[in-house]
Amino acid sequence: ELITAIYQSGHLGGVVKLPLPPDAPFYTREGILKHARHFHEKKRSVENFSDDQITLGRDVGR
């Protein structure tokens, strides 16, 4: 509940009093999904990765 209150305060701003009442925006999972900001959403993907080997510092120049 403390974590949920922190999320609510961070996303909506303002003070949150505990315990959260049942009508609080972040009280339920559905409320969290509805009100929480999405910071990153995948919009594209890479189709062809090259087969280059990942080198470590000791392997540079070999």
Return the pLDDT at 61.
66
User: Which residues does 37 contact at the CB level (< 8 Å), separation at least 6?
Assistant: 11
Residue 62: pLDDT band with limits 50, 70, 90: low
Return the pLDDT at 59.
66
All structural domains of the chain with their residue ranges = 2-35
Tally of residues, the chain: 62
Q: How far is CA 60 from the centre of its chain?
A: 36
For the CA atoms of 34, 38, 44, 50, what is the dihedral angle to 10 degrees? -140
Token readout for 54 is: 């990942």
pLDDT tens-digit series, residues 5-61: 999 999 899 999 999 999 999 999 999 999 988 777 777 877 777 777 777 777 666
